[in-house]
Amino acid sequence: MLPCQRKTRSQSRMRRSHDALEPIDTVRCPNCGSPKLPHAACGACGYVRPGLKVAFSKGSKQ
């Protein structure tokens, strides 16, 4: 089944205006200074927020 009428070039481009890729925002870790995602634990040192630390064990399999 085909559409009744063809979408105009303008309508197609207006529909695609929200499909552009956006760069990933990163922030500096206040503990070690490496880039990390906001509101996420630091991958280098495990820092989350003051008073909370997540332990990472690299190389151990469970």
The 10s digit of each residue's pLDDT in 22-46 is 999 999 999 899 999 999 989 998 8
Mean pLDDT of all residues in 8-15? 95
Residues 6+ apart with CB under 8 A from 54: 41, 46, 48
* Separation of alpha carbons 52 and 38, rounded Å: 16
With 0-12 / 13-18 / 19 or more C-beta atoms within 10 angstroms meaning exposed / middle / buried, residue 42 is buried
Residues in the chain: 62
pLDDT value for 58 = 73
Band (pLDDT 50/70/90 cuts) for residue 54 is: low
- Report the relative pairing of strands 52-53 and 27-28 from DSSP bridges: unpaired
Which helix (H) or strand (E) segment holds residue 47: the answer is strand 47-49
Domain boundaries, the chain: 26-62
